[in-house]
Structure 1
């Protein structure tokens, strides 16, 4: 008899959770049906997160810091799944350097095969994040020196 009581209590608990889920589900639908502006803002947020890159200022994608150019979207989609965009934008490499880095990530970090996107991503990175020749700073030309007191 005691075992039967435990089974009834378990079934009652499961039934209660099921009813609670139904109430939340239909309550959410009722709320969205009566508040269309909320439903619209949810759809807009989903569209932004699914690859609409609207936040661009002065040729820079504000969310990632990537230079806006052909291949930016593919680079964002393939690189920022695993690491920060900053890890890409702080580096400067030749095309061969970027390709070697991608191979290293594929061999050791489980990066997937980029397929047709690889050429697009490599071209984007080699063009926008290539090494810059900075060299040493220029000599100071000031001939009059003074002493700080």
Structure 2
């Protein structure tokens, strides 16, 4: 009974080993197939960037950023758009004090560098070109003859 049992164990071991080899070959083939499929070729289209377009000003507006063309614009572009979109500046309206407070807040909390001699020029530019406007809601309509729609 001992030799017969040993024969059965060897036979079972060979079958198990054959099964394990089959599994390894199967998973190895699947891994190879999954990682070596032909990938679609991607052709990069070069983006045409012209420094002429970057410096272009039309109707008093710097085309690339939307900033109003005025003294201090370049310094404002260099210092403001290094961290955020020009739109973040152009959509806001603040007094000189408001712009100064915003710059100080960015320096204290957002790691904005010391603007040095440019700070005065930038503040003057922003206060002149992006100051609060008196425009608000339109005035209420008065002395209107209303009628009902049928």
Per-residue CA deviation, residues 48-91 of structure 1 (Å, 9 max, x unaligned), is 48xx62x2111111111110000000000000000000100111
4+ runs of 1 displaced by more than 3 Å?
none
Task: Using the TM superposition, give the Cα deviation of residue 136 of structure 1 relative to its aligned residue in structure 2, in angstroms.
Answer: 4.4
Per-residue CA deviation, residues 91-135 of structure 1 (Å, 9 max, x unaligned), is 111101101100110111010111111010000000000111224
Q: Cα 1:48–1:106, aligned 2, differ >3 Å: closer, same or farther?
A: farther
Pairing of 1:43-54 with structure 2 (within 5 A): 45=50, 47-48=51-52, 53=55
Distance (Å, rounded) in 1 between the aligned partners of 2:100 and 2:114: 12
1:102 aligns with: 103
1:23 aligns with: none
Distance (Å, rounded) in 1 between the aligned partners of 2:77 and 2:121: 12
Q: Which structure 2 residue ranges, 5 or more long, are not aligned?
A: 1-47
Distance (Å, rounded) in 1 between the aligned partners of 2:122 and 2:52: 21
Aligned residues: 103
Root-mean-square deviation (Å): 2.0
Q: Which structure 1 residue ranges, 5 or more long, are not aligned?
A: 1-41
Normalised by the size of structure 2, how large is the TM-score? Answer: 0.62
Give the helix-richer structure, 1 or 2: 1
Q: Cα 1:57–1:48, aligned 2, differ >3 Å: closer, same or farther?
A: closer
Distance (Å, rounded) in 2 between the aligned partners of 1:138 and 1:92: 21
